[in-house]
Amino acid sequence: MHIHILGICGTFMGSLAIIAKQLGHTVSGSDMNVYPPMSTQLEMAGIELMSGYSVDHIFPLPDQIIVGNVMGRGNEVVEYLLNNHIPFTSGPAWLHDQVLKDRWVLAVAGTHGKTTTSSMLAWILESAGLKPGFLIGGVPENFDYSSRLGDSKYFVIEADEYDTAFFDKRSKFVHYCPHTLVLNNLEFDHADIFDDLDAIKRQFHHLIRILPSDGKLIINIDDQNIQDVIDMGCWTPTESFSTTNSAATWFAVDIDLQNSQFTLKQNNKPRGLGVLKLFGRHNIANAIAAIAAAQHAGVYVEDALQALTTFAGVKRRLEHKGTFNKISVYDDFAHHPTEIAATISAFRNQRPDGRIITIFEPRSNSMRLGIHVEHLAKAFDDADKVFIFEPKDLQWPIQDVTNNIKPDAKTFSVVDDIILDLLNDVKPGDNVLILSNGSFDGLSEKLVLQLSSREANILH
């Protein structure tokens, strides 16, 4: 069967394409934004990519067309499909019908930490020999791709609350029908989709309503918004996790942030030492949630802890891009004030002596609309210097933020100007942290090239 995917380079749709390929289908796709790492792994998988959205791309007509949520009314291809009564479906619906309906689905939902937690969970199951399938909104370093079909009944999925498609405004995750569900946290985001926090809570409640009574719900005990969702109704046995609250089912004590170590307790009984390659309190919480979910699938806690010692992280989640003349460069997907603050704080605990120079692109729809402006300046408190890129479509005065940032802050409208200014200021011992949920016009790659070239000149 030939499947064509509209909006194939999104993190979800690209991962879906790989699974379709593994099922034996011929897969092609169209998108406006084709860039690594998704474009790279699609090409490696032998999937044909087409730039733009042209009706010509769907001729001769494929056997099935999957429409990504990036597509909307007024789009040339969408209008052609509708006017000519050509059948199509959404990505989440296709995934459920073709892959998930007969699997034990372990889903990770929440505003932050979904990608890392689901990657950890997939690696724990893999290390235990369970050969899970998975679909993750990023590329885990321990695997070749962001998704795979798997060779067992288990399937791990990053459960995104974003809408399904232009014709189905429910959150994607209601299609997944999980047996095990992790709720990491819940904040207002996706202002282009949701009117307010209550609208998001309602979608999470819809997800809980389809959890089976013999399943498992694993929640962050410290998040009041999650508790509000639970209070709407819950019919599934629940466990909790925390790094600060000893009332939780799963609780970390003796936390050493500099060495990323902790002692794990379950029902107040010690279960073992946790040691991570990743750093930050938020990643310890992610690890605990993954361990709890894995136990529900039958993995021993001791085996889960051991697996996490070899978990290498996820591309673009505090990804170390290299160190040049003692200047370290990291790339991260953080785009919400809570994520930004957690990432920089983790850096400060891990690297207390070096400067933290943060480069931020306000790229998400919520950020461009100004939803997070009130809390954005404070998110940079632990940085030493902040460079902020001002995109053309920003709908709020960027000086409202830079004027209130405690560290030294500068604004730029050209990416190359950021690099030039940084190269004039950066020195050995500095840590450069790039924060964006997009390609950032290749800033990470450009900066690494310049720093490596300068290092080579110094050495010679």
Q: In the chain, where are the structural domains located? A: 2-92, 99-308, 319-459
DSSP code of residue 317: B
pLDDT of residue 334: 72
Residues 6+ apart with CB under 8 A from 215: 178, 179, 180, 181, 236, 237
Name the burial class of residue 220, with classes exposed (0-12), middle (13-18) and buried (19+) by CB atoms within 10 angstroms of its CB.
buried
DSSP per-residue string spanning 83-103: HTT---EEHHHHHHHHTGGGS
The whole-angstrom separation of Cα 273 and Cα 265 is 9
Specify the fold of 319-459.
Protein-Tyrosine Phosphatase; Chain A (3.90.190)
State yes or no: cis peptide before 37, omega within 30 of 0: yes
pTM, entire model? 0.84
Give dist(CA 174, CA 186) in Å, integer. Answer: 16
Q: What is the dihedral of CA 182, 188, 190, 191, to 10 degrees?
A: 160
| Residue 387 one-letter amino acid | F
Q: Which residue do the tokens 């942290």 mark? A: 433
Which positions of the chain have pLDDT values less than 70? Answer: 35-37, 191, 455-460
Q: What is the pLDDT at residue 106?
A: 98
d(CA 358, CA 340): 10
Spell out where 113-153 has E strands: 133-135, 147-148
Please tell me the CATH code under which domain 2-92 is placed. Answer: 3.40.50.720
- Which fold does the domain 99-308 belong to in CATH? UDP-N-acetylmuramoyl-L-alanine:D-glutamate ligase (3.40.1190)
Nearest 5°: the CA angle 187, 357, 456 is: 135
Look at residue 352 in the predicted model and tell me its pLDDT: 72
